[in-house]
């Protein structure tokens, strides 16, 4: 997206999202204009009736025919308004669906860190509430505001053609009304920003309260946690109340003064008629038309809240759509082999460098392990290899080719990644495993589960493979979720398997079963393991010891012990824990 698009006004930006639906919005505006014209047409009919009365017209049919015409105009207004609204809403809901789809697709192309630094409550608020808020602009403001703005302008021009002085009189209340309106809008950005911040805080607290309800109950924090939720709810509610309280007086004056055209039209027109410079018939016409302008003006002003919030609403959605993406081409050459190499890799998270010039070679088919203290950078290296983040400098090569030159989808086909906290969707065990390879048959899914050592516990579930696991896999234990995640990764059949402390929640007995299964399933594949128990990686072809974002040592288990470094200290601590256990 170029700089011109980025700096465009909110209304121009949202109109730019209409895409193939632009024609529907044009039709909606045309229908809305015709509808507003129909709503004003009866005023001209009333003028005709008044003129008939003044010319002593006594035929009843004359008046009945004009009443019938007014009814037809009213019916035409209703039909046009309904068609305009239906057309704009049909287009709008399609556009909102596309915007939401673009946003969710964008999240998959953004670096993981950029996504994770935003709370789930804030993202949910943007993807659901904020995008839904665009509906008012597209479905209502575009057709209705446009139509209600156009018709009064035409009426005022017509009044000016009758008498320019009365044209000015019809506009006399506009400057004062606009002044009130501008005064109301002056602090809107600050107030609305506060409501957004307060609402986000409430969303985050609600999500945290629900997700942490077990901890809250266990540690007796029910009152303090609930009080925080209540306080955030109070703050969110009063952010709107304070805003409305500050706006109500200028808004009321604007709504009263702006449409009050009669305040100036009647006395000025009366004086002109008295002076003989304006005919009575023209004066009556202007009075009736001035009354007719009031409704469109009030309709336009009713969208003031939407104009005040438009910038913030669209800004949050644009922040996602215009966020930097990972550097990946749509098309590219597929590497011939699966050898991995890291060359002077550096990575910074929130301006703090956490990896400092990491280099290593991972031959195809090898068993590689990363060990080190918590926070040393082991998982960061794994995530960079899995292409969840981009390196800040240096490069990661697959088959001698920089992974940034490989399309994301093609690279993802080469990697099966299992982390410590794998997510399960609220669907059956079978479908969660099948995510690894959507085309897999039921038999292949069950075979992957058997080989991964989780067939037994799955069959013990209420509905076996058809058991719904609950939101985030909440109906299963942590160890069960991990074993299903491993089965999912194994079903994928990728040539490179990364296990990022994937057995952290598993007891020693099941861990041994999983390790044997993984060893069998990864024969001939590259296996990269981030280990929390050193005994699980003693057979690795090469163990890399990570400390403070650097590779401080590497080699086989025996070689590292002979170096008498950090690995030996970690191994002794590990064996002592096992002996004490």
Q: DSSP letter string over 131-168?
A: HHHHHHIIIIIIIIIHHHHHHHHHHHHHHHHH-HHHHH
**Half-sphere exposure of residue 287: CA atoms within 13 angstroms, side-chain side:** 17
Q: Is the pLDDT of residue 72 over 90?
A: yes
Average confidence (pLDDT) over 35-49: 84
Average confidence (pLDDT) over 63-67: 90
Q: Of the given ranges (39-48, 362-371, 502-511), which has the lowest mean pLDDT?
A: 502-511
Query: What are the E-state strand segments in 317-459?
Result: 340-349, 352-362, 367-371, 393-398, 401-402, 415-418
Spans of all domains in the chain: 10-173+259-321, 340-580
For the chain, the residue count is 581
Q: Is the pLDDT of residue 2 over 50?
A: no
For residue 555, is it left (φ>0), alpha (ψ between -120 and 50) or beta?
Answer: left
Instruction: Convert 553-573 into a string of H (helix), E (strand) and C (coil).
Output: EEECHHHHHHCCCHHHHHHHH
Tell me the three state secondary structure of residue 452: coil
Backbone angles phi, psi at 528, to 5 degrees: -115, 120
- In DSSP terms, which residues pair with 360 in a beta bridge? 342
pLDDT band at 580 (very low <50, low <70, confident <90, very high): low
- Would you give the distance in Å from CA 285 to the centre of its chain? 52
> For 173-219, what is each residue's pLDDT tens digit?
888 888 887 787 777 767 777 777 787 778 777 767 666 666 555 55
Average confidence (pLDDT) over 522-529: 85
- How far is the first Cα of the chain from the last one, in angstroms, to the nearest whole number? 59
459 token code pair: 């069959």
Pairing of strands 352-362, 496-500: unpaired
Burial of 30 (0-12, 13-18, 19+ CB in 10 A): middle
Residue 346: name the closest of 392, 387, 306, 312 by CA.
Answer: 392
Average confidence (pLDDT) over 459-483: 82
Which residue bears the tokens 């004003």?
40
> For 417-451, what is each residue's pLDDT tens digit?
888 777 788 889 899 999 888 888 999 999 888 88
Domain 10-173+259-321 has CATH 1.20.1560.10: yes
pLDDT of residue 355: 92
Structure letter (DSSP) for residue 428:
B
pLDDT band at 1 (very low <50, low <70, confident <90, very high): very low
Backbone angles phi, psi at 397, to 5 degrees: -110, 140
Residue 564: name the closest of 552, 575, 577 by CA.
Answer: 552
pLDDT of residue 127: 81
For residue 319, is it left (φ>0), alpha (ψ between -120 and 50) or beta?
Answer: alpha
Average pLDDT of the chain is 82
Contact 405, 462 (CB under 8 A): no
Backbone angles phi, psi at 521, to 5 degrees: -75, -20
- Return the top range by mean pLDDT from 8-17, 156-165, 188-197, 248-257: 156-165
* Number of other CB atoms surrounding residue 243 within 10 Å: 19
pLDDT band at 223 (very low <50, low <70, confident <90, very high): low
> For 258-289, what is each residue's pLDDT tens digit?
778 888 889 999 999 999 899 888 888 888 88
CATH number for the domain formed by residue range(s) 340-580: 3.40.50.300
Contact 98, 317 (CB under 8 A): no
pLDDT of residue 3: 44
Which residue bears the tokens 């057995």?
503
Query: Can you tell me the distance from the alpha carbon of 234 to that of 210, in angstroms, rounded to the nearest whole number?
Result: 18
Q: Of the given ranges (132-141, 299-308, 501-510), which has the lowest mean pLDDT?
A: 501-510
Q: Is the pLDDT of residue 332 over 80?
A: no
pLDDT of residue 385: 92
For residue 174, is it left (φ>0), alpha (ψ between -120 and 50) or beta?
Answer: alpha
pLDDT band at 26 (very low <50, low <70, confident <90, very high): confident
Task: Find the helix or strand (DSSP H, E) in which 476 lies.
Answer: none
Q: Would you say the pTM of this structure is higher than 0.75? A: no
Contact 473, 423 (CB under 8 A): yes
On the question of a common fold for 10-173+259-321 and 340-580, the answer reads: no
pLDDT band at 11 (very low <50, low <70, confident <90, very high): low
pLDDT of residue 216: 58
Tell me the three state secondary structure of residue 411: helix
Residues in Cβ contact with 468 at an 8 Å cutoff, skipping those fewer than 6 apart: 426, 427, 428, 475
Helix boundaries (H) for 222-376:
222-257, 262-275, 280-301, 304-321
Q: What angle do CA 87, 90, 91 make, to 5 degrees?
A: 85
Q: Is the dihedral of CA 75, 80, 86, 92 positive or negative?
A: negative
Query: Can you tell me the distance from the alpha carbon of 354 to that of 377, in angstroms, rounded to the nearest whole number?
Result: 7
Contact 545, 368 (CB under 8 A): no
pLDDT of residue 398: 92
Instruction: Convert 263-290 into a string of H (helix), E (strand) and C (coil).
Output: HHHHHHHHHHHHHCCCCHHHHHHHHHHH
Structure letter (DSSP) for residue 402:
E
Residue 117: name the closest of 382, 421, 320, 381 by CA.
Answer: 320
Which one has a higher pLDDT value, 239 or 578?
A: 239
Average confidence (pLDDT) over 222-233: 72
């Amino acid at each position: 997206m170029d700089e011109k698009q980025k700096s465009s006004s909110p209304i121009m930006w949202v109109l730019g999202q209409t895409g193939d639906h632009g024609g529907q919005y044009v039709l909606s505006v045309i229908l809305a204009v015709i509808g507003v014209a129909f709503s004003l047409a009866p005023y001209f009919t009333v003028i005709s009736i008044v003129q008939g009365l003044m010319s002593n017209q006594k035929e009843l049919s004359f008046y009945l025919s004009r009443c019938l015409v007014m009814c037809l105009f009213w019916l035409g207004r209703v039909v046009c308004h309904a068609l305009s609204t239906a057309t704009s809403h049909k287009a709008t809901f399609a556009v909102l669906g596309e915007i939401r789809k673009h946003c969710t697709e964008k999240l998959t192309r953004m670096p993981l860190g950029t996504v994770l630094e935003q709370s789930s409550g804030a993202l949910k608020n943007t993807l659901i509430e904020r995008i839904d808020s665009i509906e008012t602009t597209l479905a209502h403001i575009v057709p209705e505001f446009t139509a209600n703005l156009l018709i009064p302008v035409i009426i005022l021009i017509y009044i000016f053609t009758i008498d320019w002085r009365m044209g000015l009189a019809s506009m006399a209340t506009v400057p004062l009304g606009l002044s009130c309106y501008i005064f109301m809008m002056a602090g809107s950005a600050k107030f609305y920003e506060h409501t957004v911040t307060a609402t986000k805080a409430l969303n985050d607290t609600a999500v945290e309260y629900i997700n942490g309800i077990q901890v809250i109950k266990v540690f007796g924090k029910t009152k303090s946690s609930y009080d925080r939720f209540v306080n955030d709810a109070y703050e969110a509610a009063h952010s709107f109340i304070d805003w409305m309280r500050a706006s109500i007086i200028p808004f009321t004056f604007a709504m009263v003064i702006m449409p009050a055209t009669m305040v100036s039209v009647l006395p000025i027109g009366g004086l002109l008629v008295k002076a003989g410079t304006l005919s009575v018939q023209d004066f009556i016409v202007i009075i009736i038309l001035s009354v007719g302008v009031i409704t469109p003006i009030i309709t336009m002003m009713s969208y003031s809240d939407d104009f005040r919030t438009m910038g913030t609403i669209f800004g949050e959605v644009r922040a996602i759509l215009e966020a930097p993406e990972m550097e990946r081409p749509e098309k590219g050459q597929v590497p011939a082999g699966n050898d991995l190499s890291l060359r002077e890799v550096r990575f910074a998270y929130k301006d703090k460098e956490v990896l400092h010039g990491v280099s290593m070679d991972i031959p195809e088919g090898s068993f590689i392990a990363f060990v080190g203290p918590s926070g040393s950078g082991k998982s960061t290296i794994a995530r960079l290899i899995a292409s969840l983040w981009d390196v800040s400098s240096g490069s990661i090569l697959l088959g001698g080719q920089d992974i940034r030159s490989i399309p994301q989808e093609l690279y993802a086909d080469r990697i099966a990644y299992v982390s410590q906290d794998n997510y399960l969707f609220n669907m059956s065990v079978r479908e969660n495993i099948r995510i690894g390879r959507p085309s897999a048959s039921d038999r292949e899914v069950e075979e992957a589960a058997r080989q991964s050592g989780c067939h037994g516990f799955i069959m013990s579930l209420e509905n076996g493979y058809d058991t719904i696991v609950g939101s985030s896999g909440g109906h299963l234990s942590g160890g069960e979720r991990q074993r299903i995640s491993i089965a999912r990764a194994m079903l994928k059949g990728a040539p490179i398997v990364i296990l990022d402390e994937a057995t952290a929640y598993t007891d020693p007995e099941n861990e041994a079963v999983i390790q044997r299964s993984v060893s069998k399933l990864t024969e001939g594949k590259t296996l990269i393991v981030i280990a929390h128990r050193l005994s699980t990686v003693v057979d690795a072809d090469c163990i890399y010891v990570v400390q403070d974002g650097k590779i401080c040592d590497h080699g086989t288990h025996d070689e590292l012990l002979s170096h008498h470094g950090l690995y030996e200290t970690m191994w002794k601590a590990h064996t002592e824990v096992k002996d004490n256990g």
